[in-house]
Amino acid sequence: IRRGAAPHRPPAPLPSRPDLPASAQMLSLVGSPLSLAGASAPGVAMRAGTPAMAVERSASIPFLKKPPALDGSMVGDVGFDPLGISTTIIELGGDLRYVREAELMHGRQAMLATVGFVFPKLFGKLPVDWAKDISLNPLEAQYQIPPVALGQIAISIAIAEGLRSRIVFSNDPDYVVGDHGFGAGMLKGKSEAQVKDMKMKELAHCRLAMVAITGMFFQTAITGSLYPLVDKF
């Protein structure tokens, strides 16, 4: 025993409770050391009562963590990025606004593609001579288009993409992603909430169209039909 230290004293024996049955007395004996340990170790009780930090989950895929780059500030951001592409882009110094621009462009093209995929079969071909011998199956028709028509398509795409790239890479702080002046009049006079709702609707249709055109391609390639729209191309 150290000098000046209080001598160690064994704990006082627990009082007997003859009024309780034997099973209850055993439980009290077992529980007493636990209660004494809790009283003599406040740090343990505090650690046990401290709540663990909850991991924020993706709204679209609840069993995955929410990507840190997707903070919900962009329209249509529901944390869907299972491959972590947004995180990689941010780590490489990229801008998610460019990714949203690409998503909108691919989505708008997909919406046009879903219509063009079945339009000739349902409503007829273009009234031009070179279209008479073109197949109604879009997977076959793409190889039957005359070189002159393909050249016009390629030049038109190059001009459109060139004009768009001047806007996208202009570093204009007032640039609104996906806004190229087409159909801007439809948003005039609408409130901020209404504009946001319209953008969300477009984005939802874009995403649906990208999935749809992929399914249409594979269904036509495998079965040669697009039931129920087209029984046989």
Q: Is 101 known as a binding-site position? A: no
Q: How far is CA 27 from the centre of its chain?
A: 54
Q: How far is CA 54 from the centre of its chain?
A: 20
Q: Is 84 known as a binding-site position? A: no
3-state secondary structure of 230: strand
Q: Is 205 known as a binding-site position? A: no
Compute CA distances 221 → 45, 114, 120, 144, 232, whole Å: 65, 15, 17, 17, 12
Q: Is 168 known as a binding-site position? A: no
Q: Is 217 known as a binding-site position? A: no
Q: Is 201 known as a binding-site position? A: yes
Separation of alpha carbons 185 and 77, rounded Å? 25
Q: Is 65 known as a binding-site position? A: no
Q: Is 86 known as a binding-site position? A: yes
Q: Quick one: tokens of 28?
A: 């009290």
Q: Is 57 known as a binding-site position? A: no
Residue numbers belonging to the annotated binding site for chlorophyll a = 78, 80, 86, 100, 103, 106, 161, 164, 180-183, 201-202, 207, 219
Residue numbers belonging to the annotated binding site = 78, 80, 86, 100, 103, 106, 108, 161, 164, 180-183, 201-202, 207, 219
Residue numbers belonging to the annotated binding site for chlorophyll b = 108
